[in-house]
């Protein structure tokens, strides 16, 4: 795992919306485990500071009234994020961040209300899909155990879109049993094809519903698999 000095650390912009509430946890995880201080970027900004990558944290941006991530997708800063990504910039969207990425069309598909119509908080197992992105290569055949906490995490994409996702190797994480077999029984929210996270065609934009920043210490739920995901995020642009 990487560990940086203040001078050598990568510059990661943390996109902060009113209602974002996992920003502090992301900061804490990157600082404690990697020595990286994230650079806060407020939603009203029209440009990004000099950054190597951006991180969109979880929460309830603008209250998530209307539809999760829908208002955030039209905030001033997302224009800058879009142009950053279009030039090959790396981005990681966690939970609400994933919702904002799909609402901004930086990732395909949409996130709908959980099938149970209830908020769900629990640990899930994830199987890593096959593809050429650094996420799929670096995390390989591992089974990851990460917590979820969302009310609108049911990934949806139409049949054609799903086929394309698979063809292009964009399915990164699928809800699975402890042995890593993706199946409906392990799917907490009714997501299409048990999808928990996807990457963009170029493999540089990652969106996932589970929270890697919450599984970075054995004391907190017994899993450190989140560290591997965050570490891979760093590899995606370094």
122 binds other proteins per the rule CB under 8 A:
yes
Residue 220 structure tokens: 């907190």
- Can 211 be counted among the known catalytic residues? yes
Closer to other proteins by CB, 65 or 163: give it: 65
**Of residues 30, 33, 55, 64, which one binds other proteins by CB under 8 A?**
64
What is the Cα–Cα distance from 38 to 172, expressed in whole angstroms? 25
Phi, psi of 38 (to 5 degrees): -75, 155
Q: Which residue has the tokens 């560990």?
A: 3
At residue 217, the 3 state secondary structure works out as coil
* Among 26, 43, 95, 103, the one annotated catalytic: 95
Q: What is the DSSP string of 20-74?
A: B-SHHHHHHHHHHHH----EEEETT-SS--S-SEEEE--B-GGGG-SSTTTTGGG
119 binds other proteins per the rule CB under 8 A:
yes
Tally the C-alpha atoms within 13 A of residue 195's C-alpha that lie toward its C-beta: 28
- Can 103 be counted among the known catalytic residues? no
35 binds other proteins per the rule CB under 8 A:
no
At residue 123, the 3 state secondary structure works out as strand
- Can 213 be counted among the known catalytic residues? yes
Closer to other proteins by CB, 84 or 98: give it: 98
Q: Which residues contact 191 (CB under 8 A, 6 or more apart)?
A: 153, 154, 155, 156, 175, 209
53 binds other proteins per the rule CB under 8 A:
no
Task: Considering only residues 5 through 34, tell me which ones interact with other proteins, judged by CB under 8 A.
Answer: 18-19, 21-22, 24-25, 28-29
Q: Which span (84-92, 104-112, 118-126, 189-197) binds other proteins, by CB under 8 A?
A: 118-126
**CB of residue 68 to other proteins, shortest distance in Å:** 11
214 binds other proteins per the rule CB under 8 A:
yes
**Of residues 151, 161, 180, 190, which one binds other proteins by CB under 8 A?**
151
The residues binding other proteins (CB under 8 A) are 18-19, 21-22, 24-25, 28-29, 42, 59-60, 62-66, 71, 118-122, 147, 149, 151, 211, 213-214, 216-217, 219-221
């Amino acid at each position: 795992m990487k560990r940086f000095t203040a001078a050598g650390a990568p510059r990661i912009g943390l996109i902060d919306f009113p209602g974002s509430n996992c920003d502090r946890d992301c900061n804490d995880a990157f600082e404690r485990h990697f020595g990286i201080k994230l650079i806060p970027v407020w939603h009203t900004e029209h440009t990004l500071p000099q950054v190597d990558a951006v991180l969109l944290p979880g929460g309830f941006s603008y209250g998530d009234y209307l539809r999760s991530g829908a208002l955030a997708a039209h905030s001033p800063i997302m224009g800058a994020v879009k142009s950053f990504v279009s030039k090959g910039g790396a981005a990681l969207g966690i939970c609400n961040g994933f919702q904002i990425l799909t609402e901004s069309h930086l990732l395909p598909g949409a996130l709908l209300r959980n099938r149970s119509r209830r908020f769900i908080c629990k640990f899930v197992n994830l199987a890593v899909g096959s593809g050429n992105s650094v996420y799929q290569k670096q995390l390989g055949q591992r089974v990851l155990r990460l917590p979820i906490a969302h009310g609108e995490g049911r990934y949806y994409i139409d049949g054609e879109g799903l086929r394309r996702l698979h063809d292009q190797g964009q399915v990164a994480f699928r809800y699975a049993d402890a042995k890593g077999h993706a199946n409906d029984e392990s799917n907490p929210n009714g997501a299409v094809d048990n999808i928990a996270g996807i990457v963009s065609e170029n493999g540089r934009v990652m969106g996932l519903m589970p929270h890697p920043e919450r599984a970075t210490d054995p004391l907190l739920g017994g899993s450190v698999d989140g560290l591997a995901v965050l570490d891979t995020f760093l590899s995606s642009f370094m």
